[in-house]
């Protein structure tokens, strides 16, 4: 079975602080994909990143960075110098590759509030 755990339900930070959102996953598959999506107050789901299980390189995109560690089954997301516009619910998700891709399995999300 596949499972994604986001233990942090809500996080509140002051603007310009750094914040890390945790994601721990479970799967028996050797080939899989990990995702992060952002859901702003307007409600749509915005794709942030996809990472496959064979690529453990960390990735940085502007103020966003992702740390993938297979040894701890974690795919954590850090926002540097947070801004009010980062306030949203963030979802981590997992899809495995078997005969084809399995549907995305989502964590319960972390609500991030950035206070000015």
Partner 1 sequence: NAGVTQTPKFQVLKTGQSMTLQCAQDMNHEYMSWYRQDPGMGLRLIHYSVGAGITDQGEVPNGYNVSRSTTEDFPLRLLSAAPSQTSVYFCASSPWGMEDTEAFFGQGTRLTVV
Residues in touch with partner 1 (CB under 8 A): 6, 9, 33, 35, 43-45, 47, 50, 52, 91, 93, 95, 97, 100-101, 103-109
Residue 25 vs 109, nearer CB to partner 1: 109
Q: How far is the CB of 15 from partner 1 (least distance, A)?
A: 26
Nearer of residues 16 and 108 to partner 1, judged by Cβ: 108
Q: In the structure encoding, which two tokens stand for residue 3, read together?
A: 């499972």
Tokens of 99: 């005969």
C-alpha–C-alpha distance, residues 102 and 80, integer Å:
32
- Ordered alpha helix ranges (H), 1-116: none
User: Do 5 and 21 touch, CB atoms closer than 8 A?
Assistant: no
Min. distance of Cβ 116 from partner 1 in angstroms?
25
């Amino acid at each position: 079975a596949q499972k994604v755990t986001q233990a942090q339900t809500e996080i509140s930070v002051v603007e310009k602080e750094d914040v890390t959102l945790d994601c721990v996953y479970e799967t028996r598959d050797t080939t899989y994909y990990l995702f992060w999506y952002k859901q702003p107050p307007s409600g749509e789901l915005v794709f942030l990143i996809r990472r496959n299980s064979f690529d453990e390189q960390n990735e940085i995109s502007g103020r966003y960075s992702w740390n993938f560690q297979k040894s701890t089954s974690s795919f954590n997301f850090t926002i540097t110098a947070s801004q009010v516009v980062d306030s949203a619910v963030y979802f981590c998700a997992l899809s495995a590759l078997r005969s084809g891709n399995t549907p995305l399995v989502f964590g319960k999300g972390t609500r991030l509030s950035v206070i000015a």
